[in-house]
Amino acid sequence: MIKEKITEIRSELPPEVKLVAVSKFHPVEAIQEAYAAGQRAFGENRPQEFCRKVAEIDAWLRGRDSEIDVEWHFIGHLQTNKLKMVLPYADLVQSVDSQHLLDAIQDWGKANGKVIRVLLELHIGAEETKSGFKEEEVLDILFRADKYKNIRFCGLMGMASHTDNEDDIRADFARIADFKAYLTDLFPELADFKELSIGMSGDWKIALDYGATIVRIGTAIFGERLQTP
C-alpha cells in the first residue's frame, strides 16, 4: 500500500520537487517499506523519535550491507535542550522558528565543527498559535547572515491556514512564494537559499502552483497516525 501511494504521488510531482515522507508517529517498518519503494527523504518532528529512528534505520541498512543513503529532515518545533538529538543527524532542519533557536543552533554548530542546513519557518497562517518568523524578522536575520558561520540558510518553510477554503490556502502560498522570490533577489550572495517547503497531504498539489521545491507528505503515504503526540 505504501509503495502504491508513493508511486502515485511521484507520478504527479515534477522531478525537481523533493518528496519528504513524513514518518512521524509511524513505526520503523513503515519507513522500511517506503525505502523499499525508493523513498529516501523522511521527516520527523519529535527529537527522541527522530534520533531513535535514525539509529534503527542505519542499523537496518548496515545489516543489509546497504549504503546509508537516507536523508533526514526535522520538521517540528525544536527545543534548544534537544539539539544534540537532532543536529548530528539532520540533513535539513526545516523548522527554525525563533531567534533563540537560531542562535542556539549556531552555538552548537560552532562547538561541534558542523555547518547546519536550515529553513526559516515563516508564519503565514491566520492561527496565532502557529510558530514562525514574521517577514521583517526574516529580513533582519538574512541581513546578518554572515554572522552565522555555522548555519547555511537554504530557504523558507511554511504552512497554509488550516481551512477547507482553497482561496485562503492559495493566498497563503502566494504570500510565502512572493516573499521567497523577493529574498532571492535581495540576497544573491546566499547561493543556497533555494528551497521553498510548502504543501502537505491535503494541499501539496496546490503548493506546486506556487513553486514548492519540497513537499511534506505523511498521511497520504502512511495513513492516519498510529499514536498521538
Question: Measured on CA atoms in the order 104, 110, 116, 121, is the torsion positive or negative?
Answer: positive
* Weakly modelled stretches of the chain, pLDDT under 50: 228-229
54 in a structural domain: no
Question: Which residue type sits at 214?
Answer: I
CA distances, 99 to each of 151, 164, 197, 227 (Å): 13, 32, 20, 31
The cell for 98 is 525563533
Query: How many other CB atoms are there within 10 angstroms of residue 115's CB atom?
Result: 12
* Beta strand ranges found along 82-130 (DSSP E): 92-96, 116-121
Helix axes 99-112, 135-143, angle to 10 degrees: 30
Q: Is residue 84 part of a domain?
A: yes
Query: Would residue 209 count as lying in a domain?
Result: yes
121 strand-pairing partners:
157
Residue in the structure block whose three cell numbers are 488550516: 162
Residue 52 placed within a domain: no
Phi first, then psi, for residue 119 (nearest 5°) are -115, 145
| Domain ranges, residue 155 | 11-21+78-222
Express the helix, strand and coil content of the chain in percent, nearest 5 each.
45, 15, 40
Q: What is the pLDDT of residue 193?
A: 98
pLDDT for residue 229:
43
Q: Which residues pair with 111 in a beta bridge?
A: none
Residue 119 near residue 197 (C-beta atoms within 8 A): yes
Q: What three-state secondary structure class fits 149? A: coil
Count how many domains the chain has.
1
User: What's the pLDDT at 125?
Assistant: 60
Query: Is residue 194, in this structure, part of any structural domain at all?
Result: yes
Please indicate, yes or no, if residue 186 is contained in any of the structural domains. Answer: yes
Q: Give whole-number Cα distances, 112 to 25, 82, 84, 107, 143, in Å.
A: 29, 15, 10, 9, 25
pLDDT value of residue 76: 95
Residue 227 within any structural domain of the chain? no
- The CATH number given to whatever domain includes residue 161 is 3.20.20.10
Confirm whether 185 is domain-assigned. yes
Q: To 5 degrees, how large is the angle CA 188–CA 155–CA 189?
A: 15
